[in-house]
Amino acid sequence: MSDTKETAPGEPVKPRIKHDWYQTDAQVVVTILLKNAPVDKVKVHYGERNLSVTSAMPGTDAEYSLEIELAHEVVPSMCSYTVTPSKIEVKLRKKEGLRWTLLEGEGKEEQVKAIPQAVLDASGPVQQQPPKLFRKDWDKIEKDIKKMEEEEKPEGDAALNALFQKIYGEGSDEVRRAMNKSFVESGGTVLSTNWNQVAKEKVDVKPPDGLEFKKWEN
């Protein structure tokens, strides 16, 4: 491609400067083959649908100028350029995840292929969302533990103790007093939940059949 203009009679002929372009998933890159362009004399302006590049041409009094009406919109704040001894390279950030079919003019939308947003996010200086912190669901853990405890089926003495603990934990104050009084007064041989009966008199020792209760003496 060339962007030289016709010269009037008597004017020096300007060197022909080629420019070309290619694209990635998120960018369009315009390359201007202007060698040894003075960095401080290169000016680039980005618009949403246009690009303007001007530069002094080394060894001459002429000025290079490139004006392009872009086929699709770009994000000016995310565009950039670099100047090297062999070229000027302009990187234009695409506004939409589209595959450009043309650099200039109106792009053909029916031939454009959408690019996944994840690819766009990974290919340029876009603001990243903070990583999600791993959080334990303590409510769910507590429910799971409680469910496991309920599903466990104790046997023998363990089952009996579990039953007494459940009655004691869920019982009224009178139930607890009855259980405490009957257990202590009977030497652990009686466990009653009837406070009306236990409150009337001392609870006697009632060892299991075939066993004799014996009180240890110091």
Q: How many residues does the chain have?
A: 218
- In this predicted structure, what is the pLDDT of residue 166? 72
67 beta partners = 52
Evaluate the CA torsion angle 203, 204, 206, 207 in order and state its sign: positive
0.75 exceeded by pTM: no
Rounded distance, CA 96 to CA 122, Å?
A: 14
Provide the 10 A C-beta neighbour count for residue 51. Answer: 23
pLDDT in tens, the chain (218 residues): 444 445 455 555 556 889 999 999 899 999 999 999 999 999 999 999 999 999 999 888 889 999 999 999 999 999 999 999 999 999 999 998 889 999 998 766 544 455 555 555 655 554 445 555 555 566 777 777 777 766 666 666 666 667 667 777 777 777 778 778 777 776 766 777 777 777 777 777 676 655 555 555 54
Which residue ranges form the domains of the chain, and what is each CATH number?
19-100+111-122 (2.60.40.790), 153-218 (no CATH)
